[in-house]
Structure 1
Amino acid sequence: MKQRSEKIVERIIQEHKDQKKKKNNESATHEDFVDVLLKFQDRMTLEIFAAGSETSSSAVDWAMAEMIRNRRVMKKAQEEVRQVFNKKGKVDEAGISDLKYLKSVVKETLRLHPSAPLLLPRESINAWAIGRDPKYWTEPESFMPERFVDSNIDFKGNNFEYIPFGAGRRICPGISYGVLNIELPLAFLLYHFDWKLPYGLKHEDLDMTELFGVSVRRKDHLSVIPIAYDDLKINSQEG
């Protein structure tokens, strides 16, 4: 019965989509309830992608800044990424699951710099403060991805000391999409380039000032110099 009902609904939706294509160049004369629902579906999809893109780009920025300040972490993450993808010669989604250390880097980044520091609605929960609470975290102000290696703490909201995406009924519905949107760009950046700071700036002097709002962004854009990995390989072979 359930399968029959689903087929009927799918047929109705497809009929409305087909009619919309036919009337694409004509003025709409009538819209029923299904047409309205399909419009809302398109808008919600756009909103999810737009919101996810902004918070993910901010997280990538924070992760790169933290790794540049912590060269040991950068080296370890870069070695892992290049070991996984060197045979392929490119980064792809299929290999992301093998990047255990990079996943820990992402978790540690979101612990210190959650994209949404205050979880709404109703009574606000300060996810930013929870992630830095010394009752739950050893050296809470230090960037240590190793704390998540072999740990069962994840993004699902089961561990209330770590809720960058919220928890319970109001947990972010786009966790998988959001996390992949952080992991994949980071893997690209770490695989294809080495990174250094300009103008003799020291790593420990990198400005990490936060700009608070609906999301937490870096006050200043991260300014770094990329060195192509292919050039590094050629130079090492010539040497």
Structure 2
Amino acid sequence: MINGLYKFKLTLSSDLFVGSTGTSSEVILWTITELINHPFVFNKVREEINSVVGSTRLVDESDVENLPYLQAVVKETLRLYPPLLVTTRKCRQSCKIGGFEIPQETMVLINLYGIMRDPDLWNNPNEFQPERFLVSSEKQDSMKYKHDEMFTFLPFGAGRRACPGSKLGLSMAHMAVATMVQCFNWEVVGDGGENKAKVNTEVSKGAFIHMAHPLKCVAIVKFNPFDCVM
């Protein structure tokens, strides 16, 4: 019994770690891609970090709660490029969806990607607009949908079966993106060595949203935190 419990805990810990790190790396990649393609947003994130952190130390995990625009950028990336395109649920009771009768106990696929790009739920759903997550509470009261409260923003699923590694994954994504923005400028390089203004955001075919073309860029140091402690 004890041995079985140990194996269960080990498996659960492994799943949480691997699941959160694997999907987080994709989120970080897509976030940096969108920031490179939107220099104004990139500079706005950097200005927010500088206003909170200053110019003498590296951004810390405790700073993230005071960086709402950074959080909005990551959220918008998750909306456009969720770790999973679909999730599954079992119907607890018979129901009718879109004119179709769904019997009790039927497994259904929920299109998370489709929900988060639905023009009936989102304005300009295919556009990268982090500001949509900075709507004031007063304005949200007059909106038809509150994206943080209704089942419209679902990168990790929802309810009791939502992704258990979401908080760890978000923490990793916030810190990685914040550090990459604070410390480096990024220049995209093409296969022939020429600089390109935009990153190709074509998505590869498959069950996951991977980049069809690898991101090739050069990191140019903007801020070296080690200079401040030496």
Q: Which TM bucket (shorter chain)?
A: 0.7 to 0.9
Higher strand content, 1 or 2: 2
| Match of residue 18 from structure 1 | none
CA distance in structure 1 between the aligned counterparts of 2:129 and 2:196, rounded to whole angstroms: 23
Amino acid at match of 2:196: L
The alignment-based identity, stated in percent, is: 32
Shift of the 182–174 alpha-carbon distance from structure 1 to 2, 3 Å rule, reads same
Matched, 1:171 2:162: yes
| Match of residue 215 from structure 1 | 208
Amino acid at match of 2:119: P
**Larger relative contact order (Cα-Cα within 8 Å, sequence gap ≥ 6):** 2
Q: How does 1:21-32 map to 2 (within 5 A)?
A: none
Amino acid at match of 1:182: A
8 Å CA contact retained: 1:52, 1:174: yes
Question: Of 67, 83, 91, which residue of structure 1 is paired with 2:59?
Answer: 91
Q: How many residues align?
A: 196
Higher helix content, 1 or 2: 1
Gap regions ≥5 residues in structure 1: 1-32, 235-239
1:85, CA displacement in angstroms? 2.1
Q: After TM superposition, where is structure 1 displaced by more than 4 Å over at least 4 residues in a row?
A: 151-155
Matched, 1:146 2:114: no
Gap regions ≥5 residues in structure 2: 90-106, 138-145
Amino acid at match of 2:210: R
1:185, CA displacement in angstroms? 0.5
| Match of residue 202 from structure 1 | 197
The RMSD of aligned alpha carbons is 1.9
Deviation digits for residues 154-206 of structure 1, max 9, x if unmatched?
A: 66xx4211111111232112221121121110011011111122222122xx2
Amino acid at match of 2:223: D
Provide TM-score, normalisation by structure 1: 0.76
8 Å CA contact retained: 1:101, 1:145: yes
Provide TM-score, normalisation by structure 2: 0.79
Shift of the 177–77 alpha-carbon distance from structure 1 to 2, 3 Å rule, reads same
| Match of residue 175 from structure 2 | 184
CA distance in structure 2 between the aligned counterparts of 1:118 and 1:151, rounded to whole angstroms: 30
Matched, 1:101 2:92: no
Find the residue that maps to 1:120 and give its secondary structure.
strand
8 Å CA contact retained: 2:19, 2:165: no
| Match of residue 29 from structure 1 | none
CA distance in structure 1 between the aligned counterparts of 2:39 and 2:75, rounded to whole angstroms: 18
Q: Which has the larger radius of gyration?
A: 1
Find the residue that maps to 1:213 and give its secondary structure.
coil
CA distance in structure 1 between the aligned counterparts of 2:15 and 2:221, rounded to whole angstroms: 35
1:212, CA displacement in angstroms? 4.1
Shift of the 95–61 alpha-carbon distance from structure 1 to 2, 3 Å rule, reads same
8 Å CA contact retained: 1:58, 1:115: yes
